[in-house]
Amino acid sequence: MRTRSTALLAGAAVLALSLTACSDDSDGGDGGSTDGGGDTITIGIKFDQPGLGFKDGDTYTGFDVDVATYVAEKLGYSADQIEWKEAPSAQRETLLSSNQVDMIFATYSITDERKETVSFAGPYFVAGQDLLVAEDNSDITGPDSLNGKNLCSVSGSTSAQRIKDEQAADVNLLEQPGYAECVTTLVAGQVDAVTTDDIILAGLAAQPANQGKVKVVGNPFSTERYGVGIPKDSDKCEDINTALQEMFDDGSWDAAIKANTEGTGYTPNGDENPPKLDACA
């Protein structure tokens, strides 16, 4: 399947044939081939995060999709050889440990707890919790200005509760099933702000229906290091990191950020991005 990232990555195929295919020798379950140099590679992404990982019919778009496609091509797989699989947050470790996917690019923060079950390459992006507000809102400049305001986040997320517990005890919390619903309530004036990672908010703000109506405050107050999830026994960390560094160096990473946040004014934290890659264990 072609993604819009293909145009950014045309040069990758020339080098791809000299690199190792990203897969191990175990059974891939309902994923793609896991014989090195096989016909397909299965990559887990979010299907419901505009600007990061989004499925629309047979089309997959977003920053995570662009990075995954670049890495896959460097590992010897064309965009047509990628099989995309939905990777909800609660299922990511299971998908990797059961070899249903070869890699996961899904706003997957690197943590010591997760490293007990899976391995990581990267990070390929450093996000921070931030706020999305109405375009004409100049009162909300950070979490400490939310007292007495209405704040939306997704059911089950801890991000809004963290603000209430640590920075704005008098904020009123409203939960919605998804971030798209939160943005709808923001545009309608039912809440004053939405909170989650800054790049997720930028992706939402970049959607045509939201452009010119909302903006990212641009004052992140946490650090989330997005890594490439791989099975615990995978030996492909070094190959993935090599591909990521090339993406940082040749301008494709910057191009992918801009393409997926266009029109929002969003700029990643320059002190953290592109990030320094961790050493592979």
The model's pLDDT over 65-108, given as tens digits with 9 standing for 90+, comes to 999 999 999 999 999 999 999 999 889 999 999 999 999 999 99
| Peptide bond before residue 275 is cis, with ω within 30 degrees of 0 | no
**CATH number belonging to the domain at 129-216, selected among 3.40.640.10, 3.40.50.720, 1.25.10.10, 3.40.190.10:** 3.40.190.10
**pTM for the whole thing?**
0.80
Q: Which pLDDT score is estimated for 74?
A: 98
Mean pLDDT of the 108-128 span: 96
* Domain with residues 4-127+225-261, CATH architecture: 3-Layer(aba) Sandwich (3.40)
- Mean of the per-residue pLDDT values of the chain: 87
Same fold? 4-127+225-261, 129-216: yes
Q: What are phi and psi of 120, to 5 degrees?
A: -135, 145
Distance between the two ends of the chain, CA-based, in angstroms? 33
3-state secondary structure the chain: CCCHHHHHHCCHHHHHCCCCCCCCCCCCCCCCCCCCCCCCEEEEECCEECCCEEEECCEEECHHHHHHHHHHHHCCCCHHHEEEEECCHHHHHHHHHCCCCCEECCCCECCHHHHCCCEEEEEEEEECEEEEEECCCCCCCCHHHCCCCEEEEECCCCHHHHHHHHCCCCCEEEEECCHHHHHHHHHCCCCCEEEEEHHHHHHHHCCCCCCCCEEECCCCCCCEEEEEEECCCCCCHHHHHHHHHHHHHCCHHHHHHHHHHCCCCCCCCCCCCCCCCCCCC
Q: Which pLDDT score is estimated for 8?
A: 39
- Tens digit of each residue's pLDDT (9 = 90 or more) over 123-163: 999 999 999 999 999 999 999 999 999 999 888 778 899 99
- Listed range (17-31, 101-115, 127-141, 251-265) with the worst mean pLDDT: 17-31
- Kindly tell me if the per-residue pLDDT of 26 is higher than 50: no
Q: Which pLDDT score is estimated for 38?
A: 66
The full set of domain ranges for the chain reads 4-127+225-261, 129-216
Please name which of 177, 185, 181, 151 lies closest in space to residue 165, comparing C-alpha atoms.
Answer: 151
Strands 193-197 and 129-134: antiparallel
Q: Which pLDDT score is estimated for 37?
A: 52
